[in-house]
């Protein structure tokens, strides 16, 4: 996050995008000469939120040009940007970027909303694309929108035709908290109306902006690139496998055979996220493919992120522009819009935006991944220059309505209409808020202590104060917990490369801990790497299965996921005969995570049913009206048992399990709530809570609060009862000082957590279990804040859970 200063946008930049006379000779309204339109008078300040140049991506380019177009059309308005950062150090932004948000820091979204509210901005224009905001599927941006009191116009760069429940939820919330939704194609309008049921009065169609340049023959530009007399086939944009460049290379031999003067020019840097994960493997594979086919002399790579001035010259030099994308579901292509608007003959695969823009003879469509058809169309256009020229002219004429000056005016009209007629319901009132009147701020997730407690073997069990205690070595329990934290955080912050290294260490520890002779995990290892037992407890084995299941579900490294799948399967046989309720519950939770990725795994589904039935039977055998529990004593990690029942009750489905899970968790909530102040009071381990006896007040352990957070969120997922969500926050606040002694357990300085709440104060040792439980609870709330978890890939045959919860 970076504070802003009061700097105005330089409206002189990019004037080549906004000429006052169009290149066809038709007059274009000059905003400097005429001033703002009367309907814009109510607009004094406009803020765009999205990526911004010099960050290298299509959204950054779009946001930058849109902001400049708006400022050029209305120079009397205060126009500035809030930029999203995918790296902590940010980028060297121009003056019009006055605030920056680290995409992974949830609190910074709320601060940005506060900034806009306090400055009484007239309109916010959000650029929405999956992947540029933090949280599950970019859910953090919903917090910002929810807090805004001012009109919001959201530009949707991707609209999914077949969204999973997560993506549908995100889109519905975007629609709910926006006054207008801007889309760039007719198909996008249809999707919003028919799939997401957005009212038509909220939807505005404004085409993707393009520069206003003259219709010039390509030969005028070719000398600049040293290719005079050549026929140039062009693709530009950030390189990634989905762009289909390999298909064009496969088509080149036939094209070159018919037209030896043909050159395929590929312009653009490798996508930075792909490069961070795979280096230049994809680009190198293209080099090798061209060499194998004998066309390496007919292909030129310009490996750089191209500035606008250079890009216009590259497009100008092209005779044919090719977009061979491999996925039909691309609903917007900025590169296609640019090429069409500059009057290029386009050959494209039939993704949705191409079908629309290239209709009525404005281009040629070829099937996906069909180099033969692609070669045939390119050759035909090169063989028939008159037809090629006719296509170019039709494309150029169609693109006149898409030039940036027109697009900027359309956005200003939309802003004025959004301010005049708010279509968002339940707008927050304009008043100063105290912390008690809004969702509480969440602490930053810090990895410092996780890093300190981990060496190249695994995570240490214990610490003396904040120093790792090597005397007690390592255990499977804590390394399984650490694996869950690492992959969950990796799912939340996919660009944090260090997390993959942590996950690899913890996976390696679990792999080494597995004893192939017994098919069980060992648990305890000394600091000198000696196993202290041949077979660990059922609990530790269950936790290992849990950790592996989450690694399969959320892991981003294919090798790590493959390792986890193999070890998960080897570990699964033993759990079939487990009898300890917590071990069974841990395994059930892990199996559910695994099945969220491999929903059709019959062995996993069978084991889930066996273990769920066994846990349910234990509750039947022990539970009574006043003691709805499966044991005679409440001990540790209690809430994991109803959490497992709630998961199985939903996904099997089983009404009795769901009822029992909700009943047991509600009872746990009551017995762990202070009667006077209503804060969370964990069962103390100095005597626990025996049936018919008294509940121990101390020592309260962090493990219990973390279990309650997860279980209450699962109960909320089942019932949509906000009381469960509120109690999850109450349990999280136990770590932060809302407890019997009013002392914080979490240590904001280190990122760790103290080992428990004792009668005389906090235990100042910060061991692995307590720290990992704190991080687990915090991550659960982070994920819950933006999206109520649904496992992708497996949708439950849901019962009427709200009715069940009332029975």
Report whether pLDDT(4) > 60.
Answer: no
Asked which of 276-280, 414-418, 488-492 is least confident by mean pLDDT, the reply is 276-280
626-634 contacts, C-beta under 8 A, 24 or more apart: 627/691, 628/660, 628/663, 628/664, 628/667, 629/664, 629/667, 629/691, 630/581, 631/581, 632/690, 632/691, 633/688, 633/689, 633/690, 633/691, 634/668, 634/671, 634/683, 634/688, 634/689, 634/690, 634/695
Average pLDDT over residues 171-180: 95
Contact in structure between 605 and 564 (CB atoms under 8 Å): no
Of the pLDDT bands very low, low, confident and very high (cuts 50, 70, 90), residue 728 is very high
Distances in whole angstroms, Cα of residue 96 to Cα of each of 6, 52, 155, 237, 701 = 9, 10, 20, 25, 49
Of the pLDDT bands very low, low, confident and very high (cuts 50, 70, 90), residue 426 is confident
Q: Which of 636, 649, 796 is nearest to 702 (CA)?
A: 636
Q: Which residue has the tokens 């066996």?
A: 610
CA atoms of 287 and 300, how far apart (whole Å): 10
- pLDDT the model gives residue 225: 87
Report whether pLDDT(793) > 60.
Answer: no
Of the pLDDT bands very low, low, confident and very high (cuts 50, 70, 90), residue 237 is confident
Of the pLDDT bands very low, low, confident and very high (cuts 50, 70, 90), residue 495 is low
Of the pLDDT bands very low, low, confident and very high (cuts 50, 70, 90), residue 104 is confident
Of the pLDDT bands very low, low, confident and very high (cuts 50, 70, 90), residue 380 is very high
- pLDDT the model gives residue 443: 86
Q: Which of 399, 397, 379 is nearest to 388 (CA)?
A: 379
- pLDDT the model gives residue 16: 44
CA atoms of 293 and 417, how far apart (whole Å): 56
CB atoms within 10 A of CB 264: 25
- DSSP letter at 231 equals E
Secondary element (H or E) of residue 346: strand 345-348
- pLDDT the model gives residue 42: 86
3-state helix vs strand vs coil in the chain, percent to 5: 50, 15, 40
CA atoms of 640 and 622, how far apart (whole Å): 17
Q: Which has more pLDDT, 803 or 323?
A: 323
Report whether pLDDT(788) > 70.
Answer: no
The dihedrals phi and psi of 548, each to the nearest 5 degrees, come to -65, -40
Average pLDDT over residues 258-265: 96
Of the pLDDT bands very low, low, confident and very high (cuts 50, 70, 90), residue 21 is very low
Report whether pLDDT(800) > 60.
Answer: no
Asked which of 58-72, 132-146, 596-610 is least confident by mean pLDDT, the reply is 132-146
Of the pLDDT bands very low, low, confident and very high (cuts 50, 70, 90), residue 153 is very high
Q: Which has more pLDDT, 492 or 570?
A: 570
Report whether pLDDT(32) > 70.
Answer: no
What's the token pair of residue 395?
């494309």
Average pLDDT over residues 333-362: 94
- pLDDT the model gives residue 56: 85
What percentage of the chain exceeds 90 in pLDDT? 75
Asked which of 259-273, 339-353, 716-730 is least confident by mean pLDDT, the reply is 259-273
Report whether pLDDT(87) > 60.
Answer: yes
Radius of gyration over every alpha carbon of the chain, rounded to an integer in angstroms? 30
Average pLDDT over residues 466-476: 96
What percentage of the chain exceeds 70 in pLDDT? 91
Average pLDDT over residues 709-734: 95
Q: What is the mean pLDDT of the chain?
A: 89
- DSSP letter at 207 equals P
- pLDDT the model gives residue 29: 46
- pLDDT the model gives residue 597: 92
Report whether pLDDT(180) > 50.
Answer: yes
- pLDDT the model gives residue 440: 67
Predicted TM-score (pTM) of the model is: 0.76
């Amino acid at each position: 996050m970076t504070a802003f200063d009061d700097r105005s946008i330089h409206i002189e930049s990019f004037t080549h995008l906004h000429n006052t006379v169009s290149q066809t000779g038709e007059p274009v309204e000059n905003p400097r000469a005429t001033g703002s339109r009367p309907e814009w008078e109510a607009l004094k300040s406009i803020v765009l939120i999205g990526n911004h140049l010099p960050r290298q991506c299509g959204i950054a380019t779009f946001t930058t040009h849109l902001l400049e177009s708006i400022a050029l059309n209305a120079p009397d308005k205060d126009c500035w940007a809030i930029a999203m950062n995918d790296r902590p150090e940010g980028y060297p932004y121009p003056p019009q970027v006055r605030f920056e948000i680290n995409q992974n820091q949830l609190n910074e979204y709320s601060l940005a909303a506060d900034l806009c509210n306090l400055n009484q901005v007239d309109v916010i224009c959000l650029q929405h694309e999956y992947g540029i905001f933090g949280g599950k599927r970019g859910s953090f941006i919903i917090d910002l929108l929810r807090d805004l009191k001012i009109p919001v116009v959201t530009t949707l760069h991707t609209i999914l035709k077949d969204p999973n429940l997560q993506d549908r939820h995100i889109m519905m919330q975007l629609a709910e908290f926006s006054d207008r939704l801007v889309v760039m194609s007719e198909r996008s309008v249809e999707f919003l109306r028919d799939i997401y049921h957005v009212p038509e009065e909220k939807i505005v169609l404004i085409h993707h902006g393009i520069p206003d340049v003259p219709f010039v023959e390509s030969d005028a530009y070719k000398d600049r690139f040293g290719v005079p007399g050549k026929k140039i086939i062009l693709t530009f944009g950030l390189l990634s496998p989905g762009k289909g460049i390999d298909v064009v290379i496969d088509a080149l031999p036939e094209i070159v055979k018919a037209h030896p003067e043909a050159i395929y020019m590929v312009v653009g840097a490798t996508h930075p996220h792909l490069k961070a994960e795979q280096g230049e493997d994809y680009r190198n594979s293209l080099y090798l493919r061209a060499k194998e086919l004998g066309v390496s002399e007919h292909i030129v790579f310009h490996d750089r992120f191209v500035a606008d001035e250079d890009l216009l010259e590259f497009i100008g030099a092209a005779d044919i522009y090719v977009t061979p994308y491999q996925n039909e579901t691309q609903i917007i292509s900025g590169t296609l819009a640019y090429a069409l608007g500059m009057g290029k003959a386009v050959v494209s695969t039939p993704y949705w935006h191409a079908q629309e823009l290239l209709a009525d003879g404005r281009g040629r469509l070829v099937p996906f991944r069909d180099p033969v058809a692609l070669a045939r169309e390119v050759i035909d256009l090169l063989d028939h220059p008159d037809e090629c020229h006719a296509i170019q002219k039709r494309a150029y004429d169609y693109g006149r309505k898409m030039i940036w000056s027109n697009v900027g005016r359309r956005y200003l009209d939309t802003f004025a209409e959004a301010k005049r007629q708010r279509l968002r319901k339940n707008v927050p009132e304009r008043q100063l808020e105290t912390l008690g009147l809004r969702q509480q701020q969440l602490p930053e997730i810090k990895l410092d202590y996780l890093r300190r407690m981990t060496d190249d073997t695994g995570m240490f069990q214990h610490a003396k104060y904040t120093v790792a205690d090597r005397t007690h070595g390592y255990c499977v329990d804590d390394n399984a917990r650490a694996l869950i934290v690492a992959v969950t955080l990796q799912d939340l912050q996919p660009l944090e490369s260090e997390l993959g290294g942590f996950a690899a260490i913890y996976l390696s520890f679990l792999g080494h801990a597995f004893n192939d002779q017994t098919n069980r995990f060992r648990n305890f290892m000394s600091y000198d790497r000696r196993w202290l037992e041949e077979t660990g407890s059922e609990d530790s084995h269950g936790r290992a299965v849990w950790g592996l299941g989450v690694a399969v579900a959320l892991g981003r490294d294919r090798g790590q996921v493959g390792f986890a799948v193999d070890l998960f399967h080897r570990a699964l046989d033993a759990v079939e005969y487990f009898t300890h309720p917590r071990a069974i519950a841990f395994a059930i939770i892990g199996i559910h995570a695994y099945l969220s990725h491999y929903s059709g795994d019959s062995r996993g589904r069978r084991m889930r049913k066996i273990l769920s039935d066994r846990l349910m039977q234990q509750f039947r055998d022990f539970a009574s009206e006043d003691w709805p529990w499966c044991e005679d004593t409440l001990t540790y990690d209690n809430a994991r048992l109803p959490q497992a029942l709630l998961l199985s009750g939903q996904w099997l489905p089983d009404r009795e399990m769901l009822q029992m899970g909700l009943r047991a968790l509600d009872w746990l909530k009551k017995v762990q709530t202070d009667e006077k102040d209503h804060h969370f009071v964990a069962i103390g381990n100095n005597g626990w809570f025996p049936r018919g006896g008294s509940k121990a007040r101390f020592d309260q352990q962090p493990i219990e609060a973390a279990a309650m957070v997860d279980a209450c969120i699962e109960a909320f997922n089942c019932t949509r009862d906000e009381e469960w969500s509120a109690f999850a926050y109450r349990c999280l606040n136990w770590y932060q000082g809302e407890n019997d002694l009013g002392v914080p357990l979490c240590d904001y300085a280190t990122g760790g957590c103290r080992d428990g709440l004792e009668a005389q104060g906090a235990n100042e040792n910060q061991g692995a279990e307590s720290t990992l439980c704190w991080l687990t609870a915090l991550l659960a709330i982070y994920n819950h804040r933006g999206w109520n978890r649904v496992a992708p890939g497996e949708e439950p045959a849901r019962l009427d859970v709200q009715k069940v919860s009332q029975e």
